[in-house]
Structure 1
Amino acid sequence: MKFYSSSKLLHGALVLALLGAAPACKKLDLDPTDTIDPDKAFRNVADLNLGLLGAYAVLDNSLLLSAVTVADEVTLPIENTVSNNDAFRWQYNATSSSVTGAWASLYQAIDRANRVLAAVDKVASPAATDQNLKNQYQGELLALRAYAHFELLRGYAADYAPAALGVPYMKESKISSPARDTFEQNIRDIKADLAQAKTLIPASFTDNTRIRLVAVAAMQARVALYEKNWADAITYSSEVITALPLATRAQFPGIWTDANSSEVAWKLKRVTGDSRLGDSFFRQSGGIVLYAPALKLLNAFDKTNDVRYPAYIKFDPTRTGTKSQYLVNKYIGGTASAPGLVDVKLFRTGEMYLIRAEAQAESGNLTAAAADLNALRAARLSGYTAQSFADKAALVAAIYTERFKELAFEGQRFFDLKRRNLPVERLAADAANASGAVLLPPTQAQYHFPIPFVELQVNPNMVQNPGY
């Protein structure tokens, strides 16, 4: 049995059930039989690594899927008669797994990380190499904890404002009834974990399927963007840009088939049997297209010169009738025997150029901002000529359009709109099969994901987002 609640109050629910079933019991002092005693589980440094890998293993990227579905970058084809489409239609509520599933998986990762963190100091380091590994694992765990909390904050905060309700920040594994921290407090805790992680992870550690130093810097840059801390956003994005140059146009398509790892700071490793993306979402193994690229997104691309277009989108003229001829190609790589089995890229240098461009623009340095935007475009479009922009508003709008294209299907678009309090606006053609779901304004409840109903049931200190 696994317990996914942020407060671990499902343990409490189990206790209540046991009390009801056995009223003669005076006390419950038995050790749980569904967990391993930490003193026995973590006996050496190698065991710490196994625990860390267990925390990585439950990062399922379900928030990405939720965010893509509710944004304006995909459309619901007529052929999709098999999936739950309440997210695309903006008809979800606190019981809808389509938007609440990430809450469980991210808090599960956090709980696993906290269990290992609690054991780090208790494990002996007989050799200097063991101590170095302990430091590295502790750094990875802290960064993973920060990442998971930040994903929760992006999805479930009542707003991206300092005093707005955020999420409970869990620093240890325990049974409790935490209230929601503010957005500002969440940001402070996330930044503290990342700062400490950066002192522990060695520069010599370069595995991009785990959290290395450049990935921590990428996290810091993204957090600073949401905090509107423009100076930090420039500093940390520059750190990534220096360490990881942009992919060339020749290299870029190979990122999405795992032929190379150019400009990838961190990616989730996928193995046989892992259905976190690919056929499990945008397409189904039976050939059904569940979600197709939106016409709005297709129209944004230079289809002839932009290397991103064929890497992200596939046109299949053999699919006729009610079948969508456009398909998401971004996660459909792998091999003939395992189609769609590609690693999920979480942080890339392309995003860092756009973070720095936005931060430079907001800081008043329009020249530097335009230079970053033009540099990214030049790397993606053949024959590109650098452009100038009349003012800050025009430049920021161009940066957002570029984010729409560069980060398509990566779970960023919905949160980008929320950062600027902009509505989700779909073309009528993209919502033709969605009961008229064309406009999602910031005033509508579904503009922010709901806290799961089960969390409200078991935690008396938990409150729902407005409107639900």
Structure 2
Amino acid sequence: MINPIKYTLILFLLILSSSCSKLNLKPTDVIDAEKAYRNLNDIDLGLNGVYVALDNTLIGINAIISDEVMLPTENTVSNTDAHRWLYTGDSDSVTGSYYTYYTAIDRLNRVLAGLDVITVATVDIATRDRYRGELLALRAFCHFELLRMYGSVYQNGGLGVPYMKASKVGYPSRDAFEVVVADAKADLVAAKSLIPLSFNDKTRITKVGVSAIQARLALYEKNWSEAITYATEAINLMPLATAAQFPGIWTDATDNEVIWKLKRGIEVERTGNLFYRQSGNIVLYAPSFKLINSFDKDNDVRYTAYIKFDDTRGEKKSQYLVNKYAGTEAFPGLADIKLFRTGEMYLIRAEAEAESAGDAAGDLNALRKARIKGYVSVSFAGKDDLVSAIYTERFKELAFEGHRFFDLKRRNLPVQRLPEDAINTSGAVKLLPTQAQYALPLPALEISVNKNTFQNPNY
């Protein structure tokens, strides 16, 4: 397992092996699955521990290193190296997710091992199978998030991440992009057969949630037919929110079109704190003018749901704030994290259809009609114009949800900021695919302790 304490464990094992003659004793440096998990209640507790490990890191990283946000002058309190593309393998701002997701993976593999050894009554077999399905889907999701984050390129032969199918201490090498994709797809297929359609808890992975993960994974794989198939499955089971329902998604008043979300409690890091510091009332990162200018401010329901304009904040203060995770007066900055929504499924299907001569314009127009008052459908001259329009729509629809940088990387496009969005970036206006920082670095610690892995190019 990818683990910074591996050498401590190795030393412990050497001491143990040299001093103990009772070789049939079970090792004491690991948790015995038979003892840790004795029944389905224990399994459920372990499964919840996996969900709890997932966080909002990718939302912040995608916004800060892309063109979604700008750095206002009032932010003199936050580490801004990531926004200026000055990160290295020692920068926790971009490497912390590596251990976050592998911690979740280690937990779920331990729970899967426990699930294999417990005995359940016949009446509980369906519940046991659903738990297994959730765990397999989580394993696929976590590895996919790591691949999006740390893969060198999103194509066959690219450096991926180790796909861990068991909890163990070792020196795993980096699997290729296509190997990670294949393993994730296999886990998702198995998961889908185990989770019943009747299970509809949106704070956990449901059957429609598996379809949504499959659709997104197929998009990155450029498997257009599968992207269409799985996005359609999700769309058919989870319709778009109406214009009246849409604002309530972001205040957690409703969960229309939400496929899977992470429930956030007051004891966890609040997503709104990525963009706004309550102490001192400081905007850490404001919506970029590039993003603001892309909206029809008068007619697009997304604009006021995502962006707040406040001209009373005073001189040298940003008048624009990220509103998507504003929370409530009682709990500012606190909001559930929406990992998958139907709006994304429409855009996945539209992009896949554009690449395979389908009705991409139909899906794009349908989404716009749901979001923009008085919208009139448009047609496109060709594939390039259509894909460009879909990317612009993804920029708007999925703003601050953890996609923008990865979307640009999927098509090898540069991060291009407007001059007015780069006044405090020390010249960080354009990030090219040929630059080291276009592929995020693995943690320097992992490189130093794992003899079988190596860093992304040019670091």
The one of 353, 362, 380 aligned to 2:346: 353
Match of 1:243 in 2: 237
Match of 2:167 in 1: 173
- Report how far residue 458 of structure 1 moved: 1.3
Match of 2:420 in 1: 429
Work out whether residues 34 and 118 of structure 2, in 8 Å CA contact, stay in contact via their aligned partners in 1.
no
Match of 1:364 in 2: 357
Match of 2:278 in 1: 285
Match of 2:67 in 1: 72
The one of 103, 109, 124 aligned to 2:98: 103
What is the TM-score normalised by the length of structure 2?
Answer: 0.96
1:258-337 aligned at under 5 Å gives the runs 258-278=252-272, 280-286=273-279, 287-333=281-327, 335-337=328-330
Paired letter, 1:61:
N
CA distance in 2, matches of 1:59, 1:27: 39
CA distance in 2, matches of 1:291, 1:118: 42
CA distance in 2, matches of 1:309, 1:234: 28
Work out whether residues 244 and 263 of structure 1, in 8 Å CA contact, stay in contact via their aligned partners in 2.
yes
- Report how far residue 10 of structure 1 moved: 2.8
2:377 paired with 1:386: yes
Work out whether residues 62 and 276 of structure 1, in 8 Å CA contact, stay in contact via their aligned partners in 2.
no
- Report how far residue 37 of structure 1 moved: 3.2
Match of 1:344 in 2: 337
CA offsets, 1:94-119, max 9 Å, x none? Answer: 01011001101000000000000011
Match of 2:436 in 1: 445
CA distance in 2, matches of 1:91, 1:351: 31
CA distance in 2, matches of 1:23, 1:350: 55
Paired letter, 1:123:
I
Paired letter, 2:344:
E
Aligned residue for 2:147, secondary structure, equals: helix
1:35-46 aligned at under 5 Å gives the runs 36-46=31-41
Aligned residue for 2:276, secondary structure, equals: coil
Match of 1:216 in 2: 210
- Report how far residue 74 of structure 1 moved: 0.2
Paired letter, 1:284:
R
Aligned residue for 1:300, secondary structure, equals: coil
Aligned residue for 2:277, secondary structure, equals: coil
Aligned residue for 2:408, secondary structure, equals: helix
- Report how far residue 448 of structure 1 moved: 0.7
CA distance in 2, matches of 1:167, 1:36: 25
- Report how far residue 275 of structure 1 moved: 1.0
- Report how far residue 176 of structure 1 moved: 1.2
Work out whether residues 2 and 172 of structure 2, in 8 Å CA contact, stay in contact via their aligned partners in 1.
no
CA offsets, 1:34-89, max 9 Å, x none? Answer: 86432222000111000000011100131221121100010011111111111100
Work out whether residues 63 and 99 of structure 1, in 8 Å CA contact, stay in contact via their aligned partners in 2.
no
Aligned residue for 2:424, secondary structure, equals: coil
Work out whether residues 60 and 276 of structure 1, in 8 Å CA contact, stay in contact via their aligned partners in 2.
no
Match of 2:182 in 1: 188
- Report how far residue 190 of structure 1 moved: 0.4
CA distance in 2, matches of 1:88, 1:139: 38
**Unpaired runs of 5+ in structure 1?**
1-6
The one of 255, 261, 270 aligned to 2:249: 255
- Report how far residue 19 of structure 1 moved: 8.7
- Report how far residue 8 of structure 1 moved: 3.6
CA offsets, 1:191-246, max 9 Å, x none? Answer: 00000000001111100000001110000000000000000000000011111110
Match of 1:4 in 2: none
Match of 2:54 in 1: 59
Match of 1:140 in 2: 134
Seen in structure 2, the aligned counterparts of structure 1 residues 74 and 34 have a Cα distance that, compared at 3 Å, is: farther
Work out whether residues 61 and 102 of structure 1, in 8 Å CA contact, stay in contact via their aligned partners in 2.
no
Aligned residue for 1:10, secondary structure, equals: coil
Aligned residue for 1:265, secondary structure, equals: strand
What is the TM-score normalised by the length of structure 1?
Answer: 0.94
- Report how far residue 126 of structure 1 moved: 1.5
Work out whether residues 302 and 397 of structure 2, in 8 Å CA contact, stay in contact via their aligned partners in 1.
yes
Seen in structure 2, the aligned counterparts of structure 1 residues 246 and 174 have a Cα distance that, compared at 3 Å, is: same
- Report how far residue 127 of structure 1 moved: 3.1
Paired letter, 2:112:
L
- Report how far residue 429 of structure 1 moved: 1.0
2:446 paired with 1:455: yes
Work out whether residues 149 and 169 of structure 1, in 8 Å CA contact, stay in contact via their aligned partners in 2.
yes
CA distance in 1, matches of 2:49, 2:9: 26
Seen in structure 2, the aligned counterparts of structure 1 residues 119 and 300 have a Cα distance that, compared at 3 Å, is: same
Aligned residue for 1:216, secondary structure, equals: helix
Match of 2:42 in 1: 47
Match of 1:3 in 2: none
CA distance in 2, matches of 1:284, 1:436: 25
Aligned residue for 1:256, secondary structure, equals: helix
The one of 76, 94, 99 aligned to 2:89: 94
CA distance in 1, matches of 2:51, 2:80: 28
Paired letter, 1:159:
V
Number of corresponding residues: 456
- Report how far residue 24 of structure 1 moved: 12
Paired letter, 2:91:
S
**Unpaired runs of 5+ in structure 2?**
none
- Report how far residue 12 of structure 1 moved: 2.3
Match of 2:78 in 1: 83
Match of 1:122 in 2: 117
Aligned residue for 1:267, secondary structure, equals: strand
Work out whether residues 266 and 348 of structure 1, in 8 Å CA contact, stay in contact via their aligned partners in 2.
yes
CA distance in 1, matches of 2:452, 2:76: 39
CA distance in 1, matches of 2:82, 2:8: 31
Worse overlay, 305-314 or 113-122: 113-122
